[in-house]
Structure 1
Amino acid sequence: MSDLEVLKNEILSSFRFRHATKEFDPNKKISDADFHYILETGRLSPSSYGFEPWKFVIVQNQYIRAKLADYASGAKKQLSTASHFMIIQSRLPKDMIASSDYIKGMMENVQKLSPEITQGKRTTYDHFLKTGFAIEDDPRVMFEWACRQTYIALGNMMTAAALIGIDSCPIEGFNRKKINELLVAEGIMDPEHFGVSVMAAFGYRLHDPSEKTRQSAQQVIEWVE
């Protein structure tokens, strides 16, 4: 078997290994090196226009985790047992419009585009928001569009974790309004620029999962030739 086939089998095995872990072994902790590797796969993830509308907040403080549990019914066991608990925040619409300081800073300081390229990209992006996807007039849709970018990063982090035998669970079972208020009150979210997108827990499974079930390839894949 070629090295490429071995690699593909390893990747598919990690997808079969991964499951939404509801309860972790509280006595097993992810090493700093392994979790930094997971975070780096999130940081390097793609986003629309490369504008990275995310912030990855790792909550290790048990007092804050307990307070989060009051408004996160879908995360109670994960909050109390996960080695690492992540809240992914997403940029608010005012940061994501083409004329914002954030977008200007991303193009000039991060992407390091020339003034000419910056102007062209800004014009293209503005057209996308107003005409292409036509989402700029609806703040809720704009925010959810930015949140979708964060899910790309989350998916990559969960796969990266599975590749080295670390479990994870994406979590949407929470009251977004209450969690937003809590994070602001605790000083770990800037309400002028961010809102909660999704949560995720990482660690090592306490129980073996049931067999993975999925629809067949014939049910979910269609070729148009």
Structure 2
Amino acid sequence: MSTEIRKKELMSTFNFRHATKEFDPTKKIPEEDFKFILEAGRLSPSSGGNEPWKFLIIQSADFRKELAPLVTGAVRSLPTSSHFVIILARKGLTFDSSYVIDQQTRVKGMPVEVYKSMQQAYAQFYDDLHLDTERALLDWSSKSTYLAMANMMTAAAHIGVDSCPIEGFDLDAVNDLLDKKGLLGDGEFSLSVMTAFGYRLKDPVRAKTRRPMDELVQYV
């Protein structure tokens, strides 16, 4: 396949995607297609390669009803979407935390002695980014979750599945609900963002609009 064909296919995918506010509740995403979407999230880049995310797939109708009053940004998408995803961000990922050490050595295969020899460089990295508070560390993890979400939405659009990113929620209230259900681990996670997936009930009323390239790009 030529480069030009690949570019046209990808641009077609980006133009197909739009923030779908309401889905056709009678249409469900096939299991294999949704696994494909999740795999795009799993393979996404993350700072340090730490994969600071967890994907909760909310399929229970009762659970969605509990969420509904807490998620004002999903009034129509929550009850109608085929799959509703809550993306959690890991908390407290310092360079010497047990999760990061396990990620770098067991998952990524870095020899323990090599990782230990790099700890001064890691400490400098954290210092340069001012990752010195619980909130700063959570924000750092959350930035990576948005990369995963974007890739999942693009993968979905590539196979004709719609999506909608959602930030309109009561953060504390949803975290409390998730915690009561035992879904935040032992204080390891916090809510980052949500995404609904399904098939659009109707086409967008207007074409995609964006600022022109010359207002957004500057070569220096």
**How many aligned residue pairs are there?**
219
RMSD of aligned C-alpha atoms? 1.1
Shift of 1:125: 2.0
Q: Could you list the runs of 5+ residues in structure 1 that have no partner in the other structure?
A: none
Q: Could you list the runs of 5+ residues in structure 2 that have no partner in the other structure?
A: none
User: Match for residue 219 of structure 2?
Assistant: 223
| Post-superposition CA distance 1:123-155 (Å, at most 9, x none) | 32221112x11222x221221111001000111
In 2, Cα distance between equivalents of 1:196 and 1:121: 31
User: Match for residue 84 of structure 1?
Assistant: 83
User: Match for residue 31 of structure 2?
Assistant: 32
Task: Give 1:14-163 correspondences, 5 Å limit.
Answer: 14-93=13-92, 96-130=93-127, 132-136=128-132, 138-163=133-158
Give the share of equivalent positions with the same residue, in percent.
Answer: 45
In 2, Cα distance between equivalents of 1:222 and 1:196: 35
In 2, Cα distance between equivalents of 1:187 and 1:142: 22
Equivalent AA in structure 2 for residue 212 of structure 1: K
Shift of 1:38: 0.5
Shift of 1:75: 0.8
User: Match for residue 3 of structure 1?
Assistant: 2
In 1, Cα distance between equivalents of 2:119 and 2:144: 19
| Post-superposition CA distance 1:89-127 (Å, at most 9, x none) | 00012xx01111111111121011112321134332221
Secondary structure at 1:70's aligned position in 2? helix
User: What TM-score comes out, normalization by structure 1 length?
Assistant: 0.94
User: Match for residue 178 of structure 1?
Assistant: 173
Cα distance change of structure 1 residues 21 and 121 upon mapping to structure 2, 3 Å threshold: farther
User: What TM-score comes out, normalization by structure 2 length?
Assistant: 0.96
In 1, Cα distance between equivalents of 2:129 and 2:214: 30
